[in-house]
Amino acid sequence: MKTIGVLTSGGDSPGMNAAIRAVVRFGVKNGLKVIGIQRGYCGMIDGAFKEMNFSDVAGIMERGGTILRTSRCGEFYTPEGRAKAAAKLKNAGIEGLVVIGGEGSLTGAKLLYEEHRIPVVGIPGTIDNDIAQTDMCIGVDTCLNTVIDAIQKLKDTATSHERAFVVEVMGRESGYIALNAALATGSEAAIVPEVPVDFDKLAERLFEERKRGKINCIIVVAEGAGGAIQVAKNLQDRIGYETRITILGHVQRGGSPTAFDRLLASRMGAEAVKALMNGETCMMMALRMNRIEHVPIAEALKSKKGLDMSLYELSLTLS
C-alpha cells in the first residue's frame, strides 16, 4: 500500500484534528502518501483531495473541530453515490481509507468495503459515546468537561437567586452526557432517553429537598428525553423554586481537546495506519482497558452502547 486517504464525517468532535495529525505523520514516516479528503463523503464524491505532509498538520492538535471540515452527504446514502465516490478514490490512487466519525460514518466505510472492496479502518469520534465495543470515543472527555464547567457556573447563579435550572445537553438517543455530567456536578436529577421519568415522584422529591433548606437545584436533561422546555413545564410551580432553562447546544462540540482526547486520538490515528499497512480492513480502533484494540466495524454497529445503569443508580443515591 502506497497511498491512503483520511476524512472526517458527521458531527465534529474535539480531538479529530489530533487524529488527522497522527494519521498524516505516522503515514508519512512510514513511506505512505496521505491524502486529506475535505468535507467527508461529499468531498469524496466531488474529488476534493489534497496531499498532506508534516507542515499541513502542524499546530492543529490543540484546535477543536476538524481542519478537513465535515458534512452529512445525502448522495452517499445511495449505491450510485457510493460507486461515484469509490471511482474517485481509485482514480486518485487511494488504496486505503481512514474514516473518523460516528455511527453513520462507520456505516459508510463498511459499505465502501462491502460494495467496492476499498480497505477501510474506522476511528470512533462522537461526543455521545454511543459506539459499541469501545470504552471511549474521541471528543467525549472534552465535551463532558465543557458541560461540567457550564453547569458549575450555573450553580453559582442558582445559589445566588435560589433557583432551579433545567440544563439541556446533547443526546438524541443516548443519555451518556446528561448522566455523567449530572453525576460529576452533584446535580439533583439526570433525565435520559433510556429511563422513563416519573415527574410526580421527581417533583415531590425536589420539593421535599427545598423544604429541608436546599437553596438551588440543577436538573440535567438529554435533548432526546423531551428537552429542557418540556421538563420545565412538567416541574414548574411544583418544586418550590423559580425555574430557568439553559440549552447548551453546539458549544458542547467545540473547544480545545483535553489531554485525554489528544492522547486517545493520537493513539487511534497511528494504530489505524498500522492496521491498513498490515492488510486489515473493515476494522475499528477501540479503547479497551486502556489498550487500543482492533474490532470489526460490523460488531461495533450491531447495537448502540447502552447506558451504564449502575451509574444511573449511583446518581439517584448521591443526588
pLDDT tens string for the chain (319 positions)?
A: 999 999 999 999 999 999 999 999 999 999 999 999 999 999 999 999 999 999 999 999 999 999 999 998 999 999 999 999 999 999 999 999 999 999 999 999 999 999 999 999 999 999 999 999 999 999 999 999 999 999 999 999 999 999 999 999 999 999 999 999 999 999 999 999 999 999 999 999 999 999 999 999 999 999 999 999 999 999 988 999 999 999 999 999 999 999 999 999 999 999 999 999 999 999 999 999 999 999 999 999 999 899 999 999 999 999 8
Provide the β-strand partners of residue 218.
165
* Residue 39 counted as an annotated binding residue: no
Active site residues: 128
Sequence letter at residue 199: F
Indicate the pTM of the whole model: 0.95
> Selecting from 3.30.420.40, 3.40.50.460, 1.10.3720.10, 3.40.50.1980, what CATH number does the domain 141-253 have?
3.40.50.460
Sketch the domain layout of the chain as residue ranges.
Answer: 3-139+257-301, 141-253
Grid coordinates representing 80 are: 450510485
Residue 133 is classified by DSSP as: T
**In residues, how long is the chain?**
319
* Residue 22 counted as an annotated binding residue: yes
- Cell 491512503 belongs to residue: 4
**121 CB-near residues (< 8 Å, 6+ apart):** 96, 97, 98, 99, 109, 272, 275, 276, 280, 281, 282, 283, 284, 285
Residue range 3-139+257-301 forms a domain whose CATH class is alpha beta
Task: Specify the DSSP element, H or E, that contains 307.
Answer: none
* Residue 302 counted as an annotated binding residue: no
Grid coordinates representing 166 are: 433545567
C-alpha of 223 from chain center: 15
* Residue 152 counted as an annotated binding residue: no
